[in-house]
Amino acid sequence: MWQDKLDPTIKEHFDDLLKKVVKEKSAYSNANNPSKAQLWSALAVLTKEVSDLRLEVQRLQKSKKKPNNKLKKALRKY
């Protein structure tokens, strides 16, 4: 199959994406064009992952900006 010819580092991600998309099989299998619906489902999965990563980066950036009061108190002792 063509999937077996993918670069191993890409194949790992491909297989992971397929596992996530197959969870939506009941939705895309009922579509007028299941193969197109499967691709849109894969795109939705990837978009969600990107969105989740953006939220995590924002959370980390906010926590980085907040002053660490415990650290400040500990440093004042010295």
| Tens digit of pLDDT at every position of the chain (78 positions) | 999 999 999 999 999 999 999 999 999 999 999 999 999 999 999 999 999 999 999 998 888 777 667 767 777 766
pLDDT score at 75: 72
Which segments of 1-78 does DSSP mark as H helices, in order? 8-21, 25-28, 34-65, 69-76
**Residue showing tokens 């009941």:** 26
Nearest CA-CA partner of 20 in 50, 2, 43, 37: 43
Domain count of the chain?
1
| Range of the structural domain that residue 66 is part of | 2-76
Rounded distance between C-alpha atoms, residue 24 and residue 74, angstroms: 51
Kindly report the pTM of this predicted structure.
0.74
